[in-house]
Amino acid sequence: MTDTFFDKIEKYSKSLGFQDIKVTNFSDFNIYSKHLREFIKNKFYGEMNWIKEKSLIRENPTNIWEEAKSALVFGLNYGPDYSPFSELKNKKTGYISIYARRKDYHKVIKSKLKNIGRFICRNSDIKVKVFVDTAPIMEKPLAELSNMGWIGKHTNLVSKKYGSWLFLGIILTNYNFNQSKKHKINNCGTCNACNEACPTNAFTSPYKLDARKCISYLTIEHKTHIKRKYRSLIGNRIFGCDDCLAVCPWNKFAKTHSDIKLDINNNLVLQPLKSLVSLDEESFRKKFSGTPLKRLGYNRFLRNILIAIGNSGDKSLVDCAINKLEHNSSLVRAMAVWALFQLSADRFKEEKKLRYSKERDLDVREEWHEGNIK
C-alpha cells in the first residue's frame, strides 16, 4: 500500500462534497488530553456528564480502537454567505444556530463517511471506523494535528480556506498514512474578537471555555431552569449561538458547500416567536423532524421560546406567555411567569393574584416571588 491511495481517497471524498481531507497520527495527542483533564477538573462541562464519564477513552483515539494508527479528517464548510448578526436584531423572531437550520449533519456526514469507508475497504485491506461527533473522540484536536486548521481562541477549529464554519468527520484506520504537510498552526495572532463577542463572557481566557455560561450549552444541553442572570443575555436565540464563530475574520475567505442535503431550510430562519410558541407537541415534532432541534424536546423548546418572548419587548406577545401559565411542565410555567413580568408588570400582578396560591412547584413559585421584588 502506498500513499498514492490517499490521493484516490481524497478525490472520492471531494466527489461526495467534502472540501478538505487531511491525515494525522496520534503521537502529539497528549497535550489535548491535558486540556481535557483541566476542563473536567474545573467542571466546565456542566450537565454534560458524558464528557467526564468517557474522559479516559477521549484521551487518545487508540483507547476507542486499539488497532488505530492514523485518522483521516474530513471538513465541510456550512457557513452562510452573509453575517447572521442582523437576525439578532429582529426580536420578534427566534434565532436558530446556523448549523441546525438543515438536516441533522450527523446523519448526512456519517452517510458520506460510510461511503468513503466502503471505498477504502473495497480497494484495500485497510480496516476503518467512522465517527461524527457522537463517540468519545476529540475531532477538533485531530483536525488541528492533521493541519486542516487550528483551534482558535473560541475553542473551535479555524481554517484559512473555510473560516470557523466547519463540520468535521473522522475515519480511524489501522494503516499508518503519512502525516499531512505541516504549516504554521495558529494564526489568531492578537485578534480576540471571538472572546469579546460572547454575550455571557463564557471564555475564562483565550482557548478556555466554561460551557456552563455558553448560550449554545444553555439552550441545547442544559435540561433545567436557566439562571436569571443569563436570560436577558440570550436575547432571541432559541437554539444555540453563533456569535464567536460569526465574528471570526477568517470567515471572509470561506467557500460555501455545494451539497443540497445540507442546504438551509428557510422554514427555520427568522420564524415569528408567536407562531413558534403556538406549536403543540405534535406540530413541534413534525416541523423539526430530521433537524437537530428535535432532540431538544418540546418542553425545553418552549422554555427557550418564552425566554426570547420575554426579551422581545413586544407586548402583543403577553397573551402568548399567559397561555403557558397552566402548562403541565413546571419548566415551561416558570419561564412563562418570567416572560410575562418582562413584558407587563401590571398583567403579571393580575395573573399572580389568580395563580400563585394554587401553584405547588417551588421553582415556579420562586419566579412569581422574584417578579414582585424587582
Contacts of 176 (CB under 8 A, 6+ apart): 25, 69, 70
Supply 352's cell numbers: 399572580
Is residue 17 classed exposed, middle or buried when 0-12, 13-18 and 19+ CB atoms within 10 A define those classes?
middle
C-alpha span between 308 and 266 (Å, rounded): 20
Which stretches of 165-297 are DSSP H helices? 193-197, 215-216, 228-234, 243-246, 273-277, 281-287
| 3-state secondary structure (DSSP) of residue 55 | helix
Q: Which helix (H) or strand (E) holds 74?
A: strand 70-77
Contact 220, 212 (CB under 8 A): no
C-alpha span between 71 and 171 (Å, rounded): 6
Q: Is 363 a catalytic residue?
A: no
Determine if residue 224 is left, alpha or beta; phi over 0 gives left, psi from -120 to 50 gives alpha, anything else beta.
Answer: beta
C-alpha span between 255 and 257 (Å, rounded): 7
- Of 20, 133, 319, 363, the catalytic one is 133
Supply 354's cell numbers: 389568580
Residues taking part in catalysis = 133
